[in-house]
Amino acid sequence: MSVYSFKETTVFKKSFSLAMQVFEISKLFPKEEKYSLTDQVRRSSRSVSANLAEAYRKKRYPAHFISKLTDCDAENSETGVWIEFAFACEYINVEIKQNLISQNEEVGKLLFHMINNPEKY
């Protein structure tokens, strides 16, 4: 198995896709949000995929693998909150919010499964 096998996982593909969508949508946020909401939602969304890469490098140590997966889950949850803020601030409409939250929840479910069944990965 390749050391980069994490890129082949559904959770990586979905989290990377979500991060890229967040990036594109956040380009439209007001300039005054640059150092707050825009940076925060970009950072947390990207951290899911980045932490997954780290997790896979620690697979030989199950407790470390699970720990990094919980980091992924935490970052994913944070992303969901920033999406809610973007909607509440009226930077995104309800359709965009629902689409992003749906993807965010799917990533969360996949991570939850990985955390509870690390031997399958």
Would you call 60 helix, strand, or coil by DSSP? coil
- Global confidence as pTM: 0.94
In tens, the pLDDT along 31-60 reads 999 999 999 999 999 999 999 999 999 999
- Residues 21 and 19: their CA atoms lie apart, in Å, by 5
What is the H or E stretch that residue 101 is in? helix 94-116
Each domain of the chain, given as residue ranges in start order, spans: 5-120
> Class of 5-120 per CATH?
mainly alpha
Confidence of residue 21 (pLDDT cuts 50, 70, 90): very high
One-letter amino acid at 93 equals N
